[in-house]
Structure 1
Amino acid sequence: MVEEKTSMRLDIDVQKIETEKLKKEKNKAEEELEIQEENDKADRWEQKFQEMQMRNEALEKSLSEIKKENGELKDGVIVLEGSLRQYRN
């Protein structure tokens, strides 16, 4: 009877140890999953940032080209106005 109680206590102790080990493994797995999710989220934001940066650069280039073209058109208008004045005189 005493041996049976001792054996049962040992079984209970082993089960407690195994339960604690499983809890620790579960907590570690949950932490790793959370870290991975945060990393994935950061990667998505980085990708969006890179895409927006590229879009911004393209828009700036387009704006620069439009300003250049606008300047050329203004120069052309000045030349045409000068020609018109000469023609009228």
Structure 2
Amino acid sequence: MVGIGSLVDLLLFYTLERALYNRMVCSLGKNSQQVKKAIALWLMLEEIGYHDLIPTINSSDNATIESLSYKALQCLACIQPDSVQPFQFR
């Protein structure tokens, strides 16, 4: 069972991510499930080397966040089984 100290540590560790989630859902009116997917993709990108991606996105204006969220969801849609690629480069 998780102790109270480790729960507090966990909540403190993801403070910025929660703030970005709340901003996108409450202020921008985005779908909570889609926001979770976009943030999960951004967290994975941070893990593989795109450091400070979440802080950079959070410091952006609302229009940029909406655009980045839309692009993240497009990327996730492209890797789904049986997805159709939007276009191909020649």
TM range (shorter): under 0.3
Q: Give TM-score, length-normalised by structure 1.
A: 0.24
Look at both structures and tell me which one has the larger radius of gyration over its CA atoms: 1
TM-score, normalised to structure 2, is 0.24
Q: Choose between structure 1 and 2 for higher RCO, CA contacts under 8 A separated by at least 6 residues.
A: 2
